């Protein structure tokens, strides 16, 4: 029994910290604005995929499912949707009030308008046109909790510790030796971690060519204001990634295994009406 407990504990310790820290703060959906529906997700190899139709406008729906304010940093094709910078989780984002739901419809151009998101051929995507095509094909959200002020409590001062002179020198030397040992161990762990990451990335299969990306569309009125928000931690409490591509590309990769019929595209053998004169 003790061996089984020890084995389970070791497996838990091997889990990545990000997996343990994940919370559900924001529900993320992609909405096809031209069809008026949420895009279905296709789970495949540990990722969630959605089908993008070239020419269709879309929005990213963010729903705060908590009773506190939440910061959501939105990345589209590796580009921050507000600032246009190459995306990082520490950058600007949208602050959602408790249980608030918003739709982000485009690249933020000012406090009053955005340039609409739309699916387009990869060379026409905003990321490719600004020289950053490497991360086209993914929508990411990094969500953060807000830091709460610590409760104020009175703590009486304590007298400083007293150490006799001989013991102070010995303790200082031991602390220095312990710090040096800890630094050496941390350096070794960092080196081994970096090596493992490089080996893992080298062993991963080559990615297939991406067909579509997100374009920089027409301007639309979409006002926002600024507010103050202090993150509770530097690490996101929740990270969401939604990968997308054209229907043909997803079928060729095996993400979509069965052809689904689009009745809007299917010809009708018995449409109502009379035969018009030819042009």
Kindly give the confidence (pLDDT) of every residue in the chain, 279 residues in length, as a single tens digit, with 9 standing for 90 and above: 444 434 433 433 333 434 445 789 999 999 999 999 999 999 999 999 999 999 999 999 999 999 999 999 999 999 999 999 999 999 999 999 999 999 999 999 999 999 999 999 999 999 999 999 999 999 999 999 999 887 777 777 777 665 555 544 444 444 444 445 444 444 443 333 333 333 333 344 345 689 999 999 999 999 999 999 999 999 999 999 999 999 999 999 999 986 554 544 556 565 666 667 776
Selection from 54, 74, 50, 51 nearest residue 62 by Cα:
74
pLDDT at 159: 72
Tell me which H or E stretch contains 44.
strand 42-44
Q: In the Cβ-directed half-sphere of 85, how many Cα atoms lie within 13 Å? A: 9
pLDDT at 50: 97
Determine if residue 112 is left, alpha or beta; phi over 0 gives left, psi from -120 to 50 gives alpha, anything else beta: alpha
pLDDT at 201: 39
pLDDT at 116: 98
pLDDT at 40: 95
pTM: 0.68
Output phi, psi for 167, to 5 deg. -70, -30
pLDDT at 69: 97
**Distance, CA of 125 to CA of 127 (rounded, Å):** 5
Tell me which H or E stretch contains 130.
none
Q: In the Cβ-directed half-sphere of 117, how many Cα atoms lie within 13 Å? A: 30
pLDDT at 247: 94
Selection from 259, 255, 249 nearest residue 213 by Cα:
249
pLDDT at 64: 97
Residues 74, 236 contacting (CB under 8 angstroms): no
């Amino acid at each position: 029994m003790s061996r089984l407990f020890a084995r389970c504990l070791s497996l838990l310790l091997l889990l990545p910290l990000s997996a343990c820290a994940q919370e559900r703060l924001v529900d993320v959906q992609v909405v096809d604005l031209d069809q008026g529906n949420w895009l279905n997700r296709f789970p495949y190899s540990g990722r969630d995929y959605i089908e993008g139709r070239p020419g269709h406008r879309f929005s990213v729906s963010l729903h705060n499912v908590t009773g506190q304010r939440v910061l959501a940093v939105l990345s589209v094709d590796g580009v921050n949707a507000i600032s246009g910078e190459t995306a990082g989780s520490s950058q600007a984002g949208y602050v959602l009030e408790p249980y608030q739901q918003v739709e982000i419809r485009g690249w933020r151009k000012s406090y009053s308008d955005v340039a609409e998101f739309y699916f387009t051929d990869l060379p026409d995507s905003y990321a490719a046109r600004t020289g950053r095509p490497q991360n086209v094909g993914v929508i990411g959200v990094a969500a953060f909790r807000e830091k709460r002020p610590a409760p104020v409590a009175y703590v009486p001062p304590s007298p400083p510790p007293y150490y006799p002179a001989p013991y102070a020198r010995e303790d200082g030397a031991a602390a220095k030796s312990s710090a040096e040992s800890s630094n050496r161990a941390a350096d070794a762990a960092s080196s081994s971690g970096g090596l493992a990451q490089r080996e893992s990335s080298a062993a991963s299969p080559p990615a297939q060519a991406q067909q579509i990306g997100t374009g920089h569309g027409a301007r639309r009125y979409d006002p926002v204001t600024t507010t103050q928000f202090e993150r509770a931690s530097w690490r996101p409490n929740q990270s969401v990634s939604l990968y997308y591509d054209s229907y043909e590309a997803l079928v060729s990769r095996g993400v979509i295994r069965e052809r689904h019929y689009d009745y809007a595209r299917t010809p009708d053998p018995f449409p109502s009406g009379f035969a018009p004169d030819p042009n």
